[in-house]
Amino acid sequence: MTEEWPAVGDMTEAGFDQPGTVDLSPHAEVAEQDVESSLRPRDLSEFIGQPRVREQLELVLSGALRRGRPPDHVLLSGPPGLGKTSLSMIIAAELGSALRVTSGPAMERAGDLAAMLSNLVEGDVLFIDEIHRIARPAEEMLYLAMEDLRVDVVVGKGPGATSIPLEIAPFTLVGATTRAGALTGPLRDRFGFTAHMEFYSPAELEQVLHRSAAILGLRLHADGAEEIAGRSRGTPRIANRLLRRVRDFAEVRADGAVTRSVARSALEVYEVDEIGLDRLDLAVLGALVRSFGGGPVGVSTLAVAVGEESTTVEEVCEPFLVRAGLLARTPRGRVATAAAWLHLGLTPPPETVGGTRSLFADDQD
Ligand SMILES: Nc1ncnc2c1ncn2[C@@H]1O[C@H](COP(=O)(O)OP(=O)(O)OP(=O)(O)O)[C@@H](O)[C@H]1O
Ligand SMILES: [Mg+2]
């Protein structure tokens, strides 16, 4: 621990959730869900970005509509906040089908899933969010349902137990996962089409922001949008969240219009820096560089140094720091790249690795 870095106690007391900061986690907050649904794109033509996924999906859906049969099962994979839930709703809307929504963690017992499946009507779209968290017995039931439109419901226990086959109406499963790697092979293989969602470019995020501003009735200047997009971590959910915070500032401290300078001042208040790092990200990088000489250091040690849970550091901060080329995950621990030193206004030691870029290196440790 060096002099210039505040003592751990000070930082923990200050807390990262105090009012005045904005949550830059890509996960949705509970209070955010209503606003989100009003900002959701309703059909494929309104869905911004992801050109490849959009084109592929358009073909899958048109083909199915032409044949008058439900399309293949679809897996949507990608980091949080990129539009998986939105796309599942769009798929149902484009097919003119009803959408039934559930999630992996809700399918604790195979019976829960059996009930859900047996209530499906022909052509329904069943959306299972966080499908990688589905319990094993339910997962096995799901294979059978996906492939043979059938489930076997076991009645009774022990030698007297009988299995009753139940027919399922032809349906389309849309699974969403932030961790495609955590899906078992047999489950993954039963999806006819997997859409890999990518982070959005700044230009695409600007379009998202303009669309949201129009819905919110907010005057957003082009340069204001550019400023917010650059700090949104490639994620529409974060872009929309920052837009709402900037709107507060614009209405209270300015004339309501969002220009570049209004956006800049607002995001300064909320402690979001020019590339979208927040206090916790900067604390992690700061500790890594100042207290541990740039690493390598284990994630739990790093988490203690910033007074946070390891999982928060691992799941909230690291994916973006890695993607931004500021932090590298190595078998020996976390390492700050030269870009990290420079971003903190420091000179990297000569042996520092450069801007290592690896996309979501989830599984390196
Ligand atoms: N392509 C897009 N065009 C416009 N807005 C989008 C787009 N993608 C996402 N959004 C916005 O971002 C918000 C988050 O999207 P969504 O809930 O679909 O993400 P998600 O991938 O399901 O996230 P999670 O993994 O946390 O469930 C939505 O409210 C929507 O307004
Ligand atoms: Mg979702």
Q: Is the CB of 77 under 6 A from ligand 1?
A: no
Domains recognised in the chain with CATH numbers: 1-20+279-365 (1.10.10.10), 33-196 (3.40.50.300), 200-269 (1.10.8.60)
Q: pLDDT, tens digit, for every residue of 265-321?
A: 999 999 999 999 999 999 999 999 999 999 899 999 999 999 999 988 888 889 889
Cα of 237 from ligand 1 centre, angstroms = 6
Specify the pLDDT at position 352: 78
Specify the pLDDT at position 2: 40
Q: Is the CB of 49 under 6 A from ligand 1?
A: yes
Specify the pLDDT at position 1: 39
Element (H, E) at 165: strand 162-167
Specify the pLDDT at position 363: 38
Q: Within the chain, which residues score under 70 in pLDDT?
A: 1-21, 354-365
Specify the pLDDT at position 5: 42
Specify the pLDDT at position 357: 40
DSSP for 40-87, please give it.
S--SGGG--S-HHHHHHHHHHHHHHHHHTSPPPPEEEE-STTSSHHHH
Closest ligand relative to 54 C-alpha: 1
Q: Is 157 a known active-site residue?
A: no
Closest ligand relative to 36 C-alpha: 1
Contacts of 3 (CB under 8 A, 6+ apart): none
Specify the pLDDT at position 21: 67
Give the side-chain half-sphere CA count within 13 A for 108.
1
Amino acid at 348: P
Task: Summarize the annotated binding site for Mg(2+) as residue ranges.
Answer: 85
| Alpha-carbon dihedral angle through residues 140, 142, 146, 151, given to the nearest 10 degrees | 90
Task: Summarize the annotated binding site for DNA as residue ranges.
Answer: 329, 334
Q: Is the CB of 295 under 6 A from ligand 1?
A: no
Specify the pLDDT at position 14: 37
Cα of 85 from ligand 1 centre, angstroms = 6
CA 338 to chain centre: 27
Tell me the best of 85, 210, 211 to mutate to test the pocket of ligand 1, counting ligand atoms within 8 Å of each CB and taking the most: 85
Q: pLDDT, tens digit, for every residue of 233-268?
A: 999 999 999 999 999 999 999 899 999 999 999 999
Q: Strand, coil or helix: what is 220?
A: strand
Q: Is 194 a known active-site residue?
A: no
Nearest CA residue ID for atom 29, ligand 1:
36
- In the block, tokens 């499908």 appear at 131
Specify the pLDDT at position 228: 97
Contacts of 342 (CB under 8 A, 6+ apart): 348
Residue 19 has what DSSP assignment? B
Specify the pLDDT at position 336: 94
Q: Is 178 a known active-site residue?
A: yes
Cα of 93 from ligand 1 centre, angstroms = 16
Q: Strand, coil or helix: what is 301?
A: helix
Q: Is the CB of 85 under 6 A from ligand 1?
A: yes
Cα of 86 from ligand 1 centre, angstroms = 6
**202 burial type by CB count under 10 A (0-12 exposed, 13-18 middle, 19+ buried):** middle
Give dist(CA 286, CA 274) in Å, integer. Answer: 16
Instruction: Indicate left, alpha or beta for 228 from its phi (over 0: left) and psi (-120 to 50: alpha).
Output: alpha
